Each structure stands twice: as C-alpha cells, then as structure tokens.
Structure 1
Amino acid sequence: MSLLIGTDEGLYLVRALPFERDDAELVLDCGMVTGIETYEHTDDVFLSSSSGAYRSSDGGETWMDLGVPVGSRYWHAGESEVWSVLSTPDALYAGTNDPYVYRSVDDGETWMEMKGFRDLPSRGHWESPIDPHYARLRCLESVPGRPEQLIAGVEAGGIHLSRDGGQTWHDRRDTIVDDVHEVVPITEDVWMAATGYLDHTIEKIGLGHAVGTGGLHRTVDGGDSWTRIDVGNPFSYIRNVFVHDGTLFFGGGEEAPPEWVHDDHGAALFESTNFGRTLDRVSYPTEETQVIDTWDVYDGDVICGSGLFDVPDPREDIEGCVMRRDDDGTYHDVGRVPANIGTIATV
C-alpha cells in the first residue's frame, strides 16, 4: 500500500509506512496541492492544485492534466487555481478560485462552466483572505446515494446546494458561517463541516478581519440548518474532519494562519466516540507548532498529516509530518516531507 502526500510544493509518493525523508518521491511538480480524491466507483485518483487538476490511473505514479479551464481572470490576478475536484459515476466536476464550477461528461475531454453558480444571490459577499481576495471553491461533494445532488463549500462564502448536477444552485450562506473549509456528507441528511474565522458580516461593520467563531458544525437535515458541536473549543480554526469506525477526528488551531508565522498559536487534536457530544483532547507528536490538516486510513490504522498552511511567509523550518494512530490511541511520527502537508490519500 502506498501513500500520496500533497504539500505546498507538490505531490509526493511513499510506498510504505514508516518512511525516511529520502524515500518520499516527488511525482508531480504542481505547486500547492489543494486536494486528493479517491472513490469506490473508480480506481482513478484525482488531484486539484494551484496549477490545475490531474488524474492518475496507476496509483499515483504518473499523472495526466485534465485541462480544467484556468485562463487569466484579470491582468493583475494571473491564472485561476483548482481548489476542488469531484468524480461521480456520470460526471467530473472542478471548482476554482474565481470561483466557478466546471463539469465534464466525457471523462475530462471537454469542460463546461455551470453558470448557475454565478447566479447565487450571496455571491457578491464572497471573499478570500488571501490577495487578490477571490473566494475559493474549497470543496465539492455529492450526497451519498444521490450523485446529482452536489454540495459546494466556499472559503469564504458559505455552503450552496445543487439538485441537478450543478445546473442550478440554492443559496445556503445564511445557514452556516462564511469560512467553509470542508464538508463531509456521512448520510443523505447528516453532514459535517469544518470552518474558519473569516466572517464577512462582522468584518463589514468594522470589527476586524478573521474574528468569527469557526468550529465544527453538523447538519441532520441535509444542509437546511447547522449546529456547532464544539462550542467553547478555543482551537476552532478547523480545516478537516474525519469519521472512521464510529470515531470522529479533527484537529484545530488557535487564531488564523497569519498568527502562526511566529508560533503565536496553540494546536490541538480531538476525538469523539459519541458523534461530538463529548470531545477528548489527544496528544500528538507535532502539537507544539503544527496543525493537523488531513486524514485517511492506512492498512486499517488512522493516519494524519500536519503542517503550517496559508501563512503569509512560508516557513522553511517546518517539515510536514505523517502520523499513525496505534490501537491504543497513541499517535506516532512515521515520516516527514520537506513542506507543509495539506492532504493525503492511500492508494
């Protein structure tokens, strides 16, 4: 079993855990990796990045550019970036930081923009914290058992839903905080969402940038309403949530990434065996500085990756760390790569 490791500086492949730094092979020089996706309906692996979207049909050894449109937006902004990719049995989807949604029904040969996404009423309020401030379509998901029902999470612009494969969209920004990092649909109606601190309403009335509440949110009615389940958690800048064998996992940081440049933050890892009614804080090897950003399962064990992402001045002293959880709940360092880890996937 191999592991793909997406970093700020490209995609690495390791063929076993644990691994030494020299064992990590750079297999795709694509800039910052924003997502790696695998699916039960296909053996292909899909990747989104600052240089485009890619597909591998050989377990991550080689990659093909899917040709998602990333032409120049404005003279001062350069090319768009692909922040999310979704495969369903009938179509491929990609989300950019324009933000636009694209769909392909011929396996990536051609792409069409789903222009209904531009018509969402709240679109004029969306904004990214990173210059030039175009919002990122950070996650695209399909509802379990309903491949035509799509979920889009915007950083920062809330959550939006489509029931017809992306042709038309329903604005749900008013149901959850603006700064959506990830949505994990567990069943048709039960989803989890990891969020951050950017709140456009608070910012617009002069109370400052990135002073929202963030946190981990849950819906039990298919996105009609959301409830924060980690109320009181100070480590509420959360990028990823993971569910495996009845246990809920997530890592969080204090403050937003700009405060992490000089380690002016804390970080924490939480587990819950009762779906968030109680949270247990768990120690991990890099908790003094690094925030956990990604999860998967390797040979039956939960694994995760950490780093310091989205800091204004990337730190050369940070090595991304892969950790493995033992049966007794202890996390161990099983290998490092020379850049922040944003996403991992077993293949």
Structure 2
Amino acid sequence: MAILVGTRDGVYRTVGVPVEDVNQVLDSGDTPRVRTFPGVDGVFAASKSGLYRSTDAGQTWDNLGVPREEVYSVVVSSDGERLYAGTHPAHLYVSTDDGETWDELEGFQNLPSRDQWHTPRHRNEAHVRSLGVHPETPDRVIAGVEVGGVHVSDDQGETWTERRDGVHDDVHHVLILDPDEYVASTGDGLYRTRDAGRSWTRLDTDLDHRYFREAFTLDGRLYAAAARSSPGTWSGENGADAILVESADTGETFETVSYPGKPEEVVLAWTVVDGVVLAGTNDGSLISRDLDGTWTDMGQLSAGIRSLAVC
C-alpha cells in the first residue's frame, strides 16, 4: 500500500504510516488533487503542469495531455467510460479513450453566470476546483468553481444547470454523499444540499471560522476543518488559526476536537488508511484519528499538503 501526497511542489510517495521514508515521485508543481477511483486502474494527479496518471502505485507517471496545462480537478464516471478534467481558466474536458484524446464540453461555457466567474488572486480568472460523480448516477457530473458556484449536468457534461443560489460562490470542494446530497466547502462557509443543489443549508452557523477547503466522510461521520480566514492571513503567532470539527449527524451539529498542530495548521486533505482517517495540513503534517477519537502525529513532509490518495 502506497500513500500519494499532492503538495505545492509535486507528488510524494510513502509506504505506510507513521511516515519514515518519503520520496518525491512527480515534479509537477502545485498539485491540488491526487485521486483514485473504484474500478479504475491507476492514480491521477491534477496539477498546474498537467494531468498525470500512474499505473504502478505512483512510481512512474504519464502526462495525459489535457488541452489546457493547469488542471485543478479530475473525475472518472462511475461506469468507467469517461474521464473528466477541470482546468484554469475554468474549462471542462472529457476523454472516452483513457486520456488519449480530449473534447471540450462547450455547454459548460454557456452557463448564464459564466462571465461572472473570476477571482483577483488567480489572474482575475476562475478554475474548476472540484469534480464529482456518484455510482448511482453515472451520467451526472457535479462541478465546483472557484469563484463561480456549483453546477450540475445530467447528460455526461453536454448541458449544465446552475445550482449556485444559496451557496457561496467561492467553491473549493463538493463532497458527494449520495446522488442528491452534497456538502460544499467554500471560502465563506460549509453548505449541504439534499436536492442536488436546488437548495442549500449552511452548516457552520454555530462556528466562528468560515474558510473551509474540503470535507470528508467515513462510517457516517463527517469531518471538516476551517481557518478563520483565507490563506493570505495564515501567518503570525496563530498561523491559520484553524479548527477541526466532526459530526455524527451529517452536519446538523459539530464537535470541535483537538489535533496536533492546532491552531497554526489547517487540515486541507483527507484519505483512509486501513480503516483509519488520515489527514494532511498546510504545513506538511500528516495526522491520523485513532479508534478512540484521538488525533495523532504521523510524520512530516517538506511541503504543504494539498491532497491525499491511497493505492
């Protein structure tokens, strides 16, 4: 079992935790997503230098040649027939031949709010930060845009419907819980929908931290982390001034828990190792949740962690 870690300077690989032997296996620059998909061979790394795939547990990689170099998100349809890539600027591409060729999904550019998608921090442009599908709805694609909201396609990405009303438009990640239930982590709050984005409920109203990067779920428990504000403020004595929260009722209530690195470090990435939650922070720390609910230090990388995957 290998753990692949997407960081701000590429992908690192380690075998097991606690971390003892870490090697950089892909010099891809900033890598927001490292992902595996059920029933699909290999691991994918979406990075600012391209979309890469490894079929030998991260030891060697191939660039899949997405038409735009900066790839922020990737997903495979649950039937394994289509590979999607989301880029910066915000465009969507699909491949039906394992990345040999790509077609742009032009309908994504026709959404009514398209001209409003931009953020000064990213050359006044937007990017497709999150892509998701659910096994029961293989033709449905859910896209989260930073900055641009949530959008849903029910026909393999050909046409799209805006689902951005009621959710903050600075979308970092959309966690797919079932075909119609999603949790959106945004720059101003954590939101849940139970009707595929037609309506949204804010979950963090009792918390005093608003900047969420990604939520995660395992065995019915929801995990999320938040900083008090955006990354530009993650310096000084309190660093990110972050919290880690858990919920046993899909976000109806949250418990704030202690973890190594608090409050300076904020959790940005999640995965599961041998049935245990493993998380990574902006300062390169790996922490895991013991069976008794205690969070434990599992080692340190030299670069800030953006994403985690096990293969």
SS across alignment from 1:174 = coil
Q: Is 1:66 aligned to 2:64, yes or no? A: yes
- Quick one: structure 1 residues 265 and 338, their matched pair in 2 at CA, closer, same or farther if it must change by over 3 Å? closer
For the Cα contact (< 8 Å) 1:246–1:273, is it kept in 2? Answer: yes
One of 201, 210, 215 as aligned partner of 2:189: 215
What whole-Å deviation, never above 9, does each CA across 1:78-134 have from its counterpart, x for those lacking one?
xx4100011121111100011100011111110011111111110111112424121
2:71 aligned partner: 82
Distance 2:45 2:67 in 1: 15
Task: Please give the TM-score of this superposition, normalised by the length of structure 1.
Answer: 0.86
SS across alignment from 1:134 = coil
The within-5 A match list for 1:282-297 is 282-297=257-272
1:31 aligned partner: 29
For the Cα contact (< 8 Å) 1:128–1:136, is it kept in 2? Answer: no
Distance 2:120 2:310 in 1: 31
The within-5 A match list for 1:88-99 is 88=77, 89-99=80-90
For the Cα contact (< 8 Å) 1:248–1:276, is it kept in 2? Answer: yes
Q: CA deviation at 1:265?
A: 4.4
Distance 2:239 2:37 in 1: 38
The within-5 A match list for 1:120-135 is 120-135=111-126
Q: Is 1:10 aligned to 2:31, yes or no? A: no
The within-5 A match list for 1:199-278 is 214-262=188-236, 263=238, 265-278=240-253
SS across alignment from 1:6 = strand
2:304 aligned partner: 340
1:302 aligned partner: 277
Letter in 1 for 2:74: V
The within-5 A match list for 1:87-236 is 87-88=76-77, 89-196=80-187, 214-236=188-210
Give runs of ≥4 in structure 1 deviating > 4 Å.
none
Letter in 2 for 1:249: Y
What whole-Å deviation, never above 9, does each CA across 1:315-343 have from its counterpart, x for those lacking one?
xxxx4001111111111111111110010
Distance 1:105 1:277 in 2: 39
Report the more deviating stretch, 23-32 or 222-231: 222-231
Q: CA deviation at 1:174?
A: 2.2
SS across alignment from 2:232 = helix
Gaps of 5+ in 2: none
1:42 aligned partner: 40
What whole-Å deviation, never above 9, does each CA across 1:140-172 have from its counterpart, x for those lacking one?
111331111111100011001111111111122
For the Cα contact (< 8 Å) 1:45–1:60, is it kept in 2? Answer: yes
Distance 2:18 2:203 in 1: 34
Q: CA deviation at 1:264?
A: 5.7
Report the more deviating stretch, 115-124 or 259-268: 259-268
For the Cα contact (< 8 Å) 2:86–2:129, is it kept in 1? Answer: yes
Instruction: Using the aligned pairs only, state the percent identity.
Output: 44
Q: CA deviation at 1:232?
A: 3.0
Letter in 2 for 1:10: G
Q: CA deviation at 1:184?
A: 1.1
Task: Please give the TM-score of this superposition, normalised by the length of structure 2.
Answer: 0.96
SS across alignment from 2:179 = coil
Tell me how large the CA RMSD over aligned residues is.
Answer: 1.2
Letter in 1 for 2:99: G
Gaps of 5+ in 1: 71-79, 197-213, 308-318
- Quick one: structure 1 residues 265 and 297, their matched pair in 2 at CA, closer, same or farther if it must change by over 3 Å? closer
Report the more deviating stretch, 243-252 or 231-240: 231-240
